[in-house]
Structure 1
Amino acid sequence: MDEQGKELDPWQFKDGKSLELGCVPRFPLDAPGRPLDYCWAAFSIPVVHERVVQLFERLDVQEVQFLPVRVEGHDSPYFILNALRFIRCIDDARCRRVAYWTPEDEQPEKVGEYRVVSGLRIDPGKVGGAHIFRPWGWPVALIVSGDLKQAMEAEGITGTRFVEV
């Protein structure tokens, strides 16, 4: 939500574009327990603590934009992690299941795009030196390199969950 309580378009964080929000979004907190350094808001929007931003800056990770946010009940600085890179790298043959939107689905703007991806697998040969990105066609996934994963673990970043793809 913006400062007036109006909901922001959550899909804008899935476009891989640098954003100028014109406000500092506010997130209600609905999870009890201790604060995490990394968590997912609705629509797979990553929200991270300042510690994550500092780590990415030290590592000179360029593929992201950090947008300041307020998390209700917390004074610490938090940010939306806006991934700026998409890579066409999904390995359909190795995924458990993929399905595409078809004309029969009556959503012509989506025809040819992924409708389902389960058991996500990527072709590492298509990733190059990317440290963090979303796979083209399946923006709910956020993929990090092995080096970035190790750095986050070594830093003790809480709230992460890594699954090899």
Structure 2
Amino acid sequence: MLRYFDLVDDKYVPDRWFLGAPVDARGQELNPWQFTEGIRLDLDEELRLPVLQQGTPLELDQASFAIPVAHARVVDIFERLGVKDVQFIPVEIESQPDRYFILNATRVVKCIDDARSGQVNYWKPEDGQPAKVGTYRAVHRLRIDPTKVGDARIFRTWGWVVTLVVSEDIKEALEREHVSGTRFVEV
């Protein structure tokens, strides 16, 4: 059976940089959640990412709001693997000559295994968030049901889109290429 992994930002890299939320060319902050909704985006403006804390640049990172950011080398790896369901949106990072992209996973899969996950909580009507009722409020020790994934190799989990899941072949390729900034947690 195929294995899947939560692609997690490695916060323990020594002296690493930390990136802020995307802004447009005028410096106005964009809606950051649009990059985690699992939909293809049509953006015709130049995007920038501020560096909140200077340090060692990473090749695969998460900016504020868990927005995945990939170095051009990571994009090349995904292209060699023929990974679909992903959009790479060019983004300029201050003081950085290398090319970077926001990694936008464009597929959402309803596959969280509530029984095998550590603990799940759902939004309820009394929580005062009508648009969120029935979706996950929290998921601890996430586990998915791989039989519900189909042919997806990179995706967000329905109802808990802050999680970015990749297939084992993507994980192995990123590890083989020694991509900096990644950590994987089996789901």
TM-score range, shorter chain: over 0.9
Name the counterpart of 1:108: 130
Does residue 162 of structure 2 align to residue 136 of structure 1?
no
Are the counterparts in 1 of residues 38 and 161 from structure 2 also a CA contact under 8 Å? no
CA distance in 2, matches of 1:55, 1:31: 27
Amino acid at match of 1:43: F
Are the counterparts in 1 of residues 71 and 99 from structure 2 also a CA contact under 8 Å? yes
Structure with more contact order per residue of length (Cα contacts < 8 Å, sep ≥ 6): 2
Name the counterpart of 1:91: 113
Q: How many residues align?
A: 165
TM-score, structure 2 normalization: 0.85
Which of residues 141, 144, 166 in structure 2 aligns to 1:122? 144
Does residue 43 of structure 2 align to residue 21 of structure 1?
yes
Following TM superposition, by how much is the alpha carbon of 1:110 offset from its aligned partner in structure 2, in angstroms? 1.2
Query: What RMSD over aligned residues (CA atoms) do the two structures have, in Å?
Result: 1.0
CA distance in 1, matches of 2:40, 2:128: 31
Structure number having the greater strand percentage: 2
TM-score, structure 1 normalization: 0.97
Following TM superposition, by how much is the alpha carbon of 1:128 offset from its aligned partner in structure 2, in angstroms? 2.1
Name the counterpart of 1:9: 31
CA distance in 2, matches of 1:90, 1:157: 27
Following TM superposition, by how much is the alpha carbon of 1:2 offset from its aligned partner in structure 2, in angstroms? 0.4
Which of residues 146, 149, 153 in structure 1 aligns to 2:168? 146
Deviation sequence 1:99-118 (CA, Å, 0-9, x none): 11111112211111111111
Amino acid at match of 2:43: L
Name the counterpart of 2:10: none
Name the counterpart of 2:12: none
